[in-house]
Amino acid sequence: MNALGSRLLAALAYPRAVDDFVELALPLHSTREVRARVVSVRRETHDVATLRLQPNASWRGHRAGQHVALTVELRGVRRTRCFSIASADSESTIAITVKARPEGAVTPWLVSGVLEGAIVTLSQATGDFVLPDVLPERLLFVSGGSGITPVMAMLRSLVLRGHRGKIAFLHYAHSKDDVIFAAELDALARRASPNLMIQVCTGRFTAPALLALLPDFERWDTWACAPEPFLDALTGAFAARGAEDRVRVERFSLAPTDPSLGSGEVTFVRSRRRADGHGPLLGIAEKAGLAPASGCRRGICRTCTRKKISGVTRDLRTGQLSTDADVDIQLCVSAPVGPVAIDL
């Protein structure tokens, strides 16, 4: 009866979905996507803030260490960015801790707090940077800068569930003022639990420092999230002792793009082809032997609209740059600016 009822409702609402009507009264409601209300935005440091999100019923929960794609509306445009979840996996709300990138289009605005009370869209949590079901004897968490968030989620989850095994938590920040979650880490350190060791350092990570802290570090199962050179140094130290299998890393990096570039390497993801080229992506695709649907070839009809998965493109009519990932672009009037990946 229930299934029949929802089929009837769907037929009545066609070509809209029932949700399209329900969400007029209940903006958080959606059976199609995860929406969340921004409950609060709390400052952590001068350029970092934590957004606390209350997701709707579509949210399937997360495992500590996973990340989520957060979609917000900024000046009328939906923009999506990926963030690790910083809260423990058992909490009913989720926390995302964001560092404002000085040149960023989205992060400074997230940190500013104007989103408080707004409704945002989330992906389901994804990522395999997680703890195993059966926990190893010794757990080492290493992080640098804003890389602290996924390992903090792990630490918080373990503390909440009363884990009694050995945990070492090693965090590096630029300066004392840059330490995210400083008060919370301080409070945990002062608990003086013999199995929980928390060390916050400033400056650069070095292998000798790790050795000084944990002389037998190669015996610790390690989860690390930090900028690229940091991770290289860390995995190098483990490799030197033949223990590279102990380290699981989560990388975060943003390839900077030079907007003056007029060409780029284009990856057509679905058809698994690559091509170097300049000018309209449609031409590049066709030269690479692909035959995407197209029509007017001058930006009118939108037949060749495809998803840009990553990279920067320029609208050849207006010169506007499209920098976001996962947005629709028109192949016939978009040119690559540096490396681009297209869902084609």
Partner 1 sequence: MEDPSMNPTTHLSAVELEAFGAELDDLLRRTKEDLGERDLRYIRRVVRVQRAFEVAGRALLFAGFLPPAWVLGTASLAIAKIIENMEVGHNILHGQYDFTNDPALSSSTYEWDIVCPASQWRHSHNFLHHTFTNVRGVDHDLGYRLLRIDDDQPWRKATLLQPLYAVALALFFQWGVAAHDVDMRHYLLRPRERSVEDRAKVRELWRKAWRQTLKDYVLFPLLAGPFALWALLGALVANSVRNVWAFSVIFCGHFPEGAATFEPDTLEGETRGAFYLRQIRGSANFEGPRLLHFMSGHLSHQIEHHMFPDVPAHRYPEMGHEVRQICARYGVPYNTGTLRAQLWSVAKKICRLALPPRREPHRAARASGAAERGARAVV
d(CA 305, CA 322): 14
290-324: string of b/e by CB count within 10 Å (b at 16+)?
Answer: bebebeebebeeeebebebbebbbbebeeeeebbb
Size of the site for partner 1 (CB under 8 A): 34
Query: Is 73 or 244 the residue whose CB approaches partner 1 more closely?
Result: 73
Q: Between 184 and 326, whose beta carbon lies closer to partner 1? A: 326
Binding mask 79-98 for partner 1 (x = CB under 8 A): xx------------------
Interface residue with partner 1, options 78, 251, 270, 274 (CB under 8 A): 78
The reply on whether position 12 binds partner 1 by CB under 8 A is yes
Distance CA 128, CA 109 (A): 29
DSSP conformation class of 261: -
Return the residue of 6, 21, 135, 289 that touches partner 1, per CB under 8 A.
21
What whole-number distance in Å separates Cα of residue 315 and Cα of residue 95? Answer: 36
CB of 19 to partner 1, least distance (A): 10
Smallest gap from Cβ 123 to partner 1, in A, equals 13
Letter for the amino acid at 106? V
Nearer to partner 1, 232 or 343 (CB): 343
Tell me the window of 90-98, 213-221, 278-286, 291-299 that interacts with partner 1 (CB under 8 A).
291-299
Residue among 174, 298, 321, 343 that touches partner 1 (CB under 8 A): 298
| Degrees, nearest 5: CA angle 286-288-289 | 65
If binding is defined by CB under 8 A, does position 20 make contact with partner 1? yes
Within 8 A by CB and 6+ apart from 289, the residues are: 273
Closest approach of partner 1 to the CB of residue 49, in Å: 22
Q: By C-beta, is 263 or 303 nearer to partner 1?
A: 303
> Given the complex with partner 1, which of 26 and 301 has the nearer CB atom?
301
- Asked whether the beta carbons of 85 and 59 are under 8 A apart, the reply is no
Amino acid identity of 257? Answer: T
Least Å from the CB of residue 327 to partner 1: 5
Q: What are the beta bridge partners of residue 342?
A: 268, 308
Closest CA to 309 of 253, 269, 257, 281: 269
Extract the tokens encoding 89: 């996996």
- Residues found near partner 1 in the complex (CB under 8 A): 8, 11-12, 14-16, 20-21, 24, 73, 75-80, 295-296, 298-303, 305, 315, 317-320, 324, 327-328, 330
